[in-house]
Amino acid sequence: MKCNQIRELLPDLAAGLNAVTPETQEHIRACPACAGKLEDIRKTMALLDEWQALEPSPYFDVRLQARLREEAAQLRAGWLHRIRIPALALALSMMIAVGVGLFRGDRSKVPPVRPVALEKLEPGTAVGDLQALDKNHELYADFDVLDDLEVQQDVTANP
Amino acid sequence: MTSIASQAQAETATPLPGLAEGLTDAEVMLRVKVGDESAFEYLVQKYRRAMVNFMYRMSHNAAVSEDLAQEVFLRVYRSRSSYEASAKFTTWLYRVATNLAMNHARDTRQERPENMVSLDEPNTETGTTMDVADGSLTAEEALVRRERLAAIRNKVQALPERQRMAVIMHKYQQMDYRQIADVLKLSESATKSLLFRAYETLRQQLKDFI
């Protein structure tokens, strides 16, 4: 193996992420330059270890759950918002259709208006008298004749 | 060899009841896909520490790192219905995380660092931290330690974006070349080269502390 091939493996070797093959090991043992590079990278990595990891705060899960709930609520609201206008339009169309249907249905079901049969009413009732007068229209036509009759003088209205 | 999954597994508390043992993360994610909430909780518990740490080293801010880590899990949850177990779960998880971290870095590039207060980073002017001091160190040792820590953070932060992500994944998340290559969508040899250059730069920049 050549030095430039070995050098690209050095970060993984220094981090202990890759098993060292016998060939690589042999090269590093025989090549002071590559051995030096490996040592430098090891020291650099050891220095980088000083940058310690950070523990998630105790509220991490609570906040994540809250964000997930918020997300779910937004999704539901978004879904309702998306279907609201089509649903309203559909409901309105159905109401119009039902209204038109009822109107037409009512018209076809309304029984034809039949002339009210005139019943014979008892004389003395208001309707009966009016009917009697209506029948006596010939008499009214000759009403002027009555004016020509002489009035009997000795008759009083209230004896 | 320590993989990111085994490291995360070691950090995990007892696996949630009802989740069959021996499932891969991809299989657990497929259960999330069909609506198993406990499977999602299992993945959160397994990877939350790794995600917070990754985001912390990318953003240098504890509060932001938690927000970003939560956002990673939210995105995983949102994408559950479209999840395909074609790649390792950790590759997918870290792709989401690196995209978020890059976007955050770009969005906050213009922010003046001196206007940001962090509880766990030393103040650049006073050199003091707001956390409790390590009582086992003398004042001088503590000062040297803080300087060294600030130098590490600054030099890692100063690396080109892909080198920085590769170093953080390799050094702090214990991911191997193959995994890093998959996350960054690079060839394995390009990843080896990227990491070697990154460590070389860090070695030169930090030689005063080595």
CATH number of the domain bearing residue B31: 1.10.1740.10
B147 vs A: CB within 8 A? no
Residue B120 forms part of a structural domain: no
Residue scoring higher pLDDT (B49 or B11): B49
Same-domain status, B63 and B159: no
Helix (H, G, I), strand (E, B) or coil at A129: helix
pLDDT tens readout for residues B106-121: 888 776 454 444 545 5
Which has the closest alpha carbon to B198: B147, B161, B153?
B161
pLDDT tens readout for residues A14-41: 988 777 888 998 999 999 999 999 999 9
Q: Can you say whether residue B46 is alpha, beta or left, with left for phi > 0 and alpha for psi between -120 and 50 degrees? A: alpha
The partner residue sitting opposite B196, judged by closest CB among A10, A17, A19, is A10
Same-domain status, B2 and B77: yes
Same-domain status, B95 and B154: no
Q: What is the pLDDT of residue B1?
A: 39
Same-domain status, B92 and B140: no
**Alpha carbon distances (Å) from B44 to B15, B198, B208:** 11, 31, 40
Same-domain status, B52 and B147: no
* Average pLDDT over every residue of B39-47: 94
Residue B115 forms part of a structural domain: no
Residues of B in contact with A7 (CB under 8 A): 196
The partner residue sitting opposite B199, judged by closest CB among A44, A68, A71, is A44
Residue B123 forms part of a structural domain: no
With a cut of 80, say whether residue A146 has pLDDT above it.
Answer: no
Q: What is the pLDDT of residue A150?
A: 66
Q: Can you say whether residue B45 is alpha, beta or left, with left for phi > 0 and alpha for psi between -120 and 50 degrees? A: alpha
Residue type (1 letter), A141: A
Q: What is the pLDDT of residue A85?
A: 76
Q: How far apart are the first and last CA of chain A?
A: 158
Q: Using alpha carbons only, how large is chain A's radius of gyration in Å?
A: 57
The partner residue sitting opposite A56, judged by closest CB among B49, B78, B210, is B49
Residue B72 forms part of a structural domain: yes
Residue B204 forms part of a structural domain: yes
Mean pLDDT highest for which of A121-130, A139-148, B69-78? Answer: B69-78
Residue finishing a domain among B76, B110, B144: B110
Same-domain status, B144 and B103: no
Residue B121 forms part of a structural domain: no
Same-domain status, B24 and B98: yes
Residue finishing a domain among B110, B126, B148: B110
Same-domain status, B7 and B105: yes
With a cut of 90, say whether residue B131 has pLDDT above it.
Answer: no
* Average pLDDT over every residue of A121-150: 72
Residue B116 forms part of a structural domain: no
pLDDT tens readout for residues B144-197: 999 999 999 999 999 999 999 999 999 999 999 999 999 999 999 999 999 999
CB atoms B176 and A17 under 8 Å = yes
User: Which pTM does this prediction carry?
Assistant: 0.69
pLDDT tens readout for residues A98-110: 888 888 776 666 6
Residue finishing a domain among B110, B145, B167: B110
Q: In CATH, what number is assigned to the domain containing residue B170? A: 1.10.10.10
Residue scoring higher pLDDT (A115 or B169): B169
Query: How many angstroms separate the CA atoms of B68 and B75, rounded?
Result: 10
pLDDT above 70 coverage of chain A, percent: 74
With a cut of 70, say whether residue A117 has pLDDT above it.
Answer: no
Taking the CA of residue A49 and the nearest CA in chain B, the distance in Å comes to 8
Residue scoring higher pLDDT (B188 or B16): B188
Q: What's the pLDDT band for B103 if we cut at 50, 70, 90?
A: very high
With a cut of 70, say whether residue B15 has pLDDT above it.
Answer: no
Q: What is the DSSP letter of A153?
A: T
* Three state DSSP letters for chain B: CCCHHHHHHHHCCCCCCCCCCCCCHHHHHHHHHCCCHHHHHHHHHHHHHHHHHHHHHHHCCHHHHHHHHHHHHHHHHHCHHHCCCCCCHHHHHHHHHHHHHHHHHHHCCCCCHHHCCCCCCCCCCCCCCCCCCCCCCCHHHHHHHHHHHHHHHHHHHHCCHHHHHHHHHHHHCCCCHHHHHHHHCCCHHHHHHHHHHHHHHHHHHCCCCC
Residues of A in contact with B148 (CB under 8 A): 47, 50
Kindly report the average pLDDT of chain B as a whole number: 83
Residue B118 forms part of a structural domain: no
Q: What's the pLDDT band for A139 if we cut at 50, 70, 90?
A: low
Same-domain status, B5 and B96: yes
Q: Which domain holds residue B57?
A: 1-110
pLDDT tens readout for residues A52-103: 888 899 999 999 999 999 888 887 777 667 777 777 888 888 899 888 888 8
Same-domain status, B77 and B38: yes
Q: What is the pLDDT of residue A4?
A: 87
Same-domain status, B142 and B70: no
In angstroms, how far is CA A25 from the centroid of its own chain?
70
Which has the closest alpha carbon to B122: B105, B104, B143?
B143
The partner residue sitting opposite B203, judged by closest CB among A12, A16, A41, is A41
Same-domain status, B103 and B143: no
Query: How many angstroms separate the CA atoms of B79 and B68, rounded?
Result: 16
Question: Which residue in chain B has the smallest CA separation from A68?
Answer: B74
Q: What is the pLDDT of residue A8?
A: 87
Residues of B in contact with A41 (CB under 8 A): 199, 203
Total tally of structural domains belonging to chain B: 2
